[in-house]
Amino acid sequence: MHTLFKIIYINARLLIAFIFTITAFTLSLTSAQATINCAGTLPSSYFKRIENNKPFAGKLIEQADGSQQLQNLSGQIVMDNLSDAYILMDTYVLAKQHGKYGVINAAGKIIVPFEYDEIQTEPDIATSFIVSVKSSDDASNATKQGIINRHGDWIYKLSDAHIEHAHYDSDYDQDYFTVAKNNGLTGLLDDRGYWAIRPQYDAINPLNACTGEPLYLQASLKNKTALIDQNNDVIIPLAANQHIEAFNASAKPLLFLRSSAIGMSGDIQEDIVSAQIIDANGKLILASDAPIRKLLYHQLYTYKQAGKFGIVNDKGSVILEPQFDSYRDDANEVWVEKNGKMQRLNTFIKLD
């Protein structure tokens, strides 16, 4: 009886909601909590650029023993004894061989040697690879990390640093990474190995990764936060008890939400006492005496001035001037209180 071979052809574009975290023991898909996720944020120009890319010139064949072979389109074996293998962006195969992970192309050329316990890449782009090597379990620095580019060259050699993808600039086809060195300071490194921001902050958090716009980040240092751009130009200076996030990362013009808090507990929303919408040049667009909160089912936000609530849209434009004593968001219905009477918000404006 002929052995039944099963062809596995998995294009990583189908996994756009996840980031690959591949270990020597399991293949796990983790969300963007640990690194960026470009799904849903890459501009349309990027997809137009890659839509004519050639299909992967090979196929992964599962063997009877559960291992996999990479074959060319004529059925010739390119590489065998693979497992946990996936095709990335019609260009690479990320797989395990003899207990270690590596990356090859369709011709079997090794891009990342099969020497690593873990490899991370952003599956929407797969232009660089964060590699990890684990030492003994009881070592003080159990994992060393480095970065290898799509050509197989080192961007950042193995060290005790903690590395994450931070941004992909689709206009220049360029990756950026946050690198937290073992002295506790974090910087922003590009895929040429140059520091866009030298390690000088306790943490930096990308706010609009992969959107086709310049990158902005919340930087933290000694219990203070600031808004900076990818060139380390300061938009909002370092200050205590402030939290900064993107207000509308998917809209233009790009705006940021600066919230002032009475403290910085685990749930920042419980601590906010006032908020401001600020543009990318640091200009104040709108100030609120309370948290600026998004309505559950609508691209609208509430703000408060002089004891009254108003409505603003995601471009920072005022839709309803402050006039309501309170409001209640019941998801599909929003109620506002005016002159002691609760009324539906859609009696004042048309809701989408």
Structure confidence at residue 269 (pLDDT): 61
Query: Which residues are within 8 A (CB) of 339 and not within 5 positions of it... i.e. 6 or more apart?
Result: none
What is the pLDDT at residue 17?
32
Torsion of CA 98, 102, 106, 111, to 10 degrees: -130
Copy the structure tokens of residue 143.
């994992």
pLDDT tens string 277-286: 999 999 999 9
Q: What's residue 27's pLDDT?
A: 33
pLDDT of residue 139: 52
| Assigned domain for 327 exists | no
SS (H, E, C) the chain: CCCCCEEECCEHHHHCCCEEEEECCCEEEECCCCCCCCCCCCCHHHHHHHCCCCCCCCEEEECCCCCEEEECCCCCEEEEEEEEEEEECCCEEEEEECCEEEEEECCCCEEEEEEECEEEECCCCCCEEEEEEECCCCCCCCEEEEEEECCCCEEEEEECCEEEEEEEECCCCEEEEEEECCCCCEEEEECCCCEEEEEEECEEEECCCCCCCCCEEEEEECCEEEEEECCCCEEEEEEECEEEEECCCCCCCCEEEEEEECCCCCCHHHCEEEEEEEECCCCEEEEECCCCEECCCCCEEEEEECCEEEEEECCCCEEEEEEECEEEECCCCEEEEECCEEEEHHHCCCCC
Please check whether residue 96 is in contact with residue 81, taking contact to mean a CB–CB distance below 8 angstroms.
no
Q: What pLDDT was estimated at residue 36?
A: 75
Please report the pLDDT score of residue 300 as a whole number.
Answer: 95
User: Is 328 part of a structural domain of the chain?
Assistant: no
Is residue 90 left, alpha or beta, with left meaning phi > 0 and alpha meaning psi from -120 to 50? left
* 29 pLDDT more than 90: no
Q: How confident is the model at residue 332 (pLDDT cuts 50, 70, 90)?
A: confident
What is residue 67's predicted lDDT score, i.e. its pLDDT? Answer: 96
In a domain, 172, yes or no: yes
| Contact status, residue 311 vs residue 326, Cβ threshold 8 Å | no
Q: What percent of the chain has pLDDT over 70?
A: 86
Is 80 exceeded by the pLDDT of residue 31?
A: no
For residue 137, name the pLDDT band (cuts at 50, 70, 90).
low
Q: Check whether 16 has a pLDDT greater than 50.
A: no
Q: What pLDDT is recorded for position 35?
A: 63
Q: What is the pLDDT of residues 179-226, one digit of tens each?
A: 999 999 999 999 999 999 999 999 999 999 999 999 999 999 999 999
Q: Could you give the angle at the alpha carbon of 99 between the alpha carbons of 97 and 100, nearest 5°?
A: 70
Lowest mean pLDDT: which of 88-97, 166-175, 248-257, 297-306? Answer: 248-257
Tell me what pLDDT residue 131 has: 97
Q: Is residue 144 part of a domain?
A: yes
Of the listed ranges 28-42, 153-167, 317-331, the least confidently predicted one is 28-42
Range of the domain at 175: 1-214
Q: Is residue 228 part of a domain?
A: no
Overall domain count for the chain: 1
**pLDDT at residue 6 tops 60:** no
C-alpha of 55 from chain center: 26
Omega prior to 55 cis, within 30 of 0: no
User: What is the rounded average pLDDT of the residues 292-318?
Assistant: 96
> Could you tell me the CA-to-CA distances from 347 to 47, 221, 323, 334 in Å, in that order?
41, 47, 14, 10
Average pLDDT, the chain: 87
Q: State the pLDDT at residue 323.
A: 97
Q: At residue 149, what are phi and psi to the nearest 5 degrees? A: -85, 180
Residue 92 lies in a domain: yes
Q: Compute how many other C-beta atoms are within 10 angstroms of the C-beta atom of residue 230.
A: 19
Per the domain annotation, does 351 fall within a domain?
no
Angle at 204 between CA 279 and CA 273, to 5 degrees: 55
Q: What is the pLDDT at residue 351?
A: 86
Residue 8 pLDDT > 90: no
pLDDT at 294: 95
| pLDDT in the model for residue 307 | 97
Percent of residues, the chain, with pLDDT higher than 90: 74
Give the model confidence (pLDDT) of 215-272 as tens digits.
999 999 999 999 999 999 999 999 999 999 999 877 788 999 999 987 554 455 667 8
- What is the pLDDT, as a whole number, of residue 249? 78
- Give the pLDDT band of residue 14 (cuts 50, 70, 90): very low
Q: Are 135 and 154 in contact (CB under 8 A)?
A: no
83 CB burial (10 A radius; 0-12, 13-18, 19+):
middle
- pLDDT above 60: residue 140: no
Task: Scan for tokens 């990818």, then name that residue.
Answer: 230
Residue 246 included in any domain = no
- pLDDT for 40 equals 82
Q: What is the pLDDT of residue 11?
A: 39
